[in-house]
Structures are given as C-alpha cells and as structure tokens.
Structure 1
Amino acid sequence: MPKIPASCPCGGPSFPTCCGPFLSGDAVAQTAEALMRSRYTAYTLGDEAYLRATWHPSTCPIEPIVNENERLQWLGLEVKSALRLRQRKVNTEEGDTVEFVARYKIGGRAHRLHEVSRFVREAGSGDVPRWYYLDGSFPE
C-alpha cells in the first residue's frame, strides 16, 4: 500500500479527518458522496479490502479490483453532483447517485473517468445502515 498523504486524495484537507476513518474502519460514511470519495481514495491507495467491503455483494466482481502491476497514477477527483433518489419499496430502501470525474494517468497518457455511480443504503453488520456502491454508468 502506498504511503498515506497528509492531504486526502479525494480533495479533502486532511486524510486523518476525511477518508482515513472510513478506510481504517473507525467510521462509516454517512452519505453516498462520502462513500464515493472514500472509494476514490481507496483506489489511489490500492486498498482492495475496502473497495470490496463497500461494493454491494450483488454487483461486486469476483476478479481483482486493483491491479498492482498496472502503472496507474490518480491525479484528482471532481464531484459533479450528488442527487438523492428515494425508492419506495417494502423496506423503504434509500438510493443515491453521485456524478464525478476522476483523472488518472496510465503509461504517461492522461485519461478521465466520468461516471454516474449508484449507491444503495442497507443494514450492514450489526444492523447499522451503511452505503454500498451498486454500479455506474458513463455519460458521453
């Protein structure tokens, strides 16, 4: 795992007061946007365990999420919007979407990942509601 920076990779002022508590398991993200930011930070740090723990079991891939041999450098995150969507079901599940652009380099070439991510809030371990990444779409 790379050295943890003083400032948070997601753009927050301080890793220990921003995404750090989520990645260490000391806190649970209270919003879909906070979870999305912490997942971006986990990608920058290569934290496979956190990415799996925050990915909804129904859509989490079996294959590795992080490729340690890939020479990937994350450059920054811009949150475009966070929209609350209430889905009325038997258990009144809550869902959110977060649109973001993540910039990165592979092999010296810059790229942009523009995604609208869907999140769902469900009871986790100990019946404490927690947010999970469900899936994403890629707007043109």
Structure 2
Amino acid sequence: MMIEPHECPCGGGEFSQCCQPIIAGSQQATTPEQLMRARYSGYATGAIEFLGKSTHSKSRKQFDAEEAERWSEDSRWLGLTILSSDSSLADRGHVNFEARY
C-alpha cells in the first residue's frame, strides 16, 4: 500500500515536488542522486512497482516484489543522508549514502 507523505522521506523537501513525480513516472530522474533518493522514498512509501521498474535490468529478475513490500511495511524509515554524489560520466554515476531504517 503506497502512502503519500507531505515531506519527502529522502529529506529533499515537499514530496510532491521531490520524489513523487519520479515515483509516479511523470518525471525521469536526471541524476544518480535523484534516482537514489526516489528509490529510498519508494521503499518508505511502499511504491513497490516503481522499485521493480527502477531496478537495473541485469538485477530485475532477482527483485522479489513480495519481499520488498514486506520489508517496506515492516521497516521504520528514519532518513537518508547523501554523503557524496558523482555523475560526471554520461552513462553512469556513483552515490555514497546512509539510509536509516
């Protein structure tokens, strides 16, 4: 069950202006950091379909939607801190983060 909080779980501001458009598919993540934030918010809000779709194609067969949904619902999502982010390459990037749950 997806919930829609006022404040974005990733800590980036108002949910409707931050991760919600990416999760809903009305906007694409343009940086690795945006995608990381949206995936964290996806877990925090129970957006399991988005998590499956945004899993890299090489790992998608291993994604277990039922397990992800259980983990999403059973966890208490406390926050996300981006420690560093590099998107200097056109086809890949790197994000160091701390997810608290």
Q: Secondary structure at the match of 1:42?
A: helix
Q: Which residue of 2 aligns with 1:100?
A: 97
List structure 1 runs of 4+ shifted beyond 4 angstroms.
none
How big is the shift at 1:2? 4.4
Separation in 2, partners of 1:33, 1:45: 18
Q: Identity across aligned pairs (percent)? A: 36
How big is the shift at 1:62? 4.1
Q: Secondary structure at the match of 2:58?
A: coil
Q: Which residue of 1 aligns with 2:70?
A: 68
Matches within 5 A, 1:10-29: 10-29=10-29
In structure 1, stretches of 5+ residues that fail to align are 87-92, 105-140
Between structure 1 and structure 2, the one with the greater Rg is 1
How big is the shift at 1:83? 1.8
Q: 1:2 to 1:62 in 2, by over 3 A?
A: closer
Bigger RCO of structures 1 and 2 (CA < 8 A, at least 6 apart):
2
Q: Deviations over 1:103-129 (max 9, x none)?
A: 11xxxxxxxxxxxxxxxxxxxxxxxxx
**Aligned-pair RMSD on alpha carbons?**
1.8
Q: Secondary structure at the match of 1:51?
A: helix
In structure 2, stretches of 5+ residues that fail to align are none
Matches within 5 A, 1:1-140: 1-60=1-60, 61-64=62-65, 65-68=67-70, 71-84=74-87, 86=89, 94-104=91-101
TM-score by length of 2: 0.86
How big is the shift at 1:71? 2.0
Separation in 2, partners of 1:6, 1:63: 28
Separation in 2, partners of 1:62, 1:24: 19
